[in-house]
């Protein structure tokens, strides 16, 4: 085999690994308990809005602070602080996918994806600062 063929094969293999690393999502969804084991590390947590618990949002005082409570898939309820405006129709969401990290007993997230119950509505994504 010529050196140019070997070099071409190495370049193809490297290209495939770079493309797969960029486009494939190897992250898994965590619970609040597993996210608490490594505070500060970014995780995606799936949960359900606890509608009977209080939601706090005062756009006059701080428009980038929204606090609410979520129950994760294992049944743990935690306070979530979103660094952004209160997402529209968050009460109507079927479930929430939040990206952020644990800070003590509070999950601080900077992105929320709301899964809507209707198959005709697109999922809504809220990004914080």
Question: By the 8 A CB rule, do 97 and 46 touch?
Answer: yes
Domains of the chain, residue spans: 27-127
Mean pLDDT, 10 residues at a time, the chain of 129 residues: 82 79 65 88 92 92 93 93 89 90 92 75 59
On whether the pTM is more than 0.75, the answer is no
Tokens coding 25: 């999502």
Helices (H) and strands (E) in the chain, counts: 2, 8
Is the domain defined by 27-127 classed in CATH 2.60.40.10? no
């Amino acid at each position: 085999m010529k050196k140019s063929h070997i070099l071409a094969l190495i370049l193809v293999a490297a290209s495939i690994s770079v493309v797969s690393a960029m486009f494939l999502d190897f992250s898994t969804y965590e619970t609040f308990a597993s996210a608490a084991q490594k505070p500060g590390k970014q995780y995606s947590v799936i949960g359900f809005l606890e509608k009977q618990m209080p939601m706090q949002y005062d756009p006059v005082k701080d428009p980038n602070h929204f606090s609410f409570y979520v129950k994760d898939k294992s049944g743990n309820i935690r306070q979530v602080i979103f660094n952004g405006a209160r997402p529209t129709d968050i009460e109507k969401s079927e479930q929430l996918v939040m990206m952020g990290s644990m800070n003590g007993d509070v999950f601080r997230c900077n992105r929320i994806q709301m899964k809507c119950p209707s198959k005709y509505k697109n999922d809504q994504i809220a990004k914080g600062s």
